[in-house]
Every structure is written in structure tokens, then in C-alpha cells.
Amino acid sequence: MTTPSVLFVCVHNAGRSQMAAGWLRHLAGDAVEVRSAGSEPADRINPVAVEAMREVGIDIAGQVPARLTWDTAEASDVIVTMGCGDACPVFPGKRYEDWKLTDPAGQPLDVVRQVRDEIGAKVAALVADLRRD
């Protein structure tokens, strides 16, 4: 069986998608190829998201926001969108999930913690589902 690849996409690739990628790396290890990107990437990761993830032992500080490319999306098995709207390309045969999550940009740490925990639960469910496939 080949290693499945999951692409997390949000607008700035600085908060939600980076937290989701961090959770997936943490929970699945090498069993899943992890990618993240943004339709309009920021120049750096949201420092409050970094702090919230650090609290649960996951370090995303070294990640860099990346622009969503056609090739990255096409090469991914699962594409999870988080508020990127029409900027996210659609490919036949791909598995899509759209997670409705609060954007952590500009939010205080207590709100970002809630977003972090919600993402963690969604990623855990995704990992369990991928293991069944």
C-alpha cells in the first residue's frame, strides 16, 4: 500500500492549515505524507498558533507558509480546505473535506486553543479513517 498524502489548505497557511499539518505529523508520523498551503500565503506563521501548539508538545515554529500550487493539489490524495473558497482547485477522484473553523488570525490565545483542539479532534478522526482504508 502506498503512503497517502493529505493537503491542508487555508488562505494564509499561517494558522489553521499549519496546526492541522502539525497534528497530522504528530498523530500519524511517517504513515501519511503531510502537506499544507495557502491561496494567499502570509510571510510567517501566526505566533499565537505556534504558542498554542507548543502547549500540546507540537512544534510548528519552523514551518513556512507556502503558496497552493496546482501540482501540490493534484499530487495529494486528500485535500482538506479551511476557508479558501474558490481558490482551491478541484480534481476528480480526490477526497475533499471542508472544515468550518474559526480563523485564528488576530485572535487571543484562548480562542486559538479552542481552534487547536477542534483541529486536533478532526485530524484524529481523519487518521483513524485513513487507517481503515
Dihedral of the CA atoms 126, 63, 74, 40 (nearest 10)?
A: 110
CA–CA dist 7, 37 (Å, integer):
7
CA 68/CA 9 separation, integer angstroms: 7
Task: Give the residue numbers marked as catalytic.
Answer: 10, 84, 88
Residue type for 104, please?
Answer: P
Quote the CA–CA distance of 130 and 78 in Å, as a whole number.
Answer: 10
Phi, psi of 122 (to 5 degrees): -65, -40
Neighbours of 74 (CB within 10 A): 12
**Among 34, 29, 35, 41, which Cα is nearest to 15's?**
41
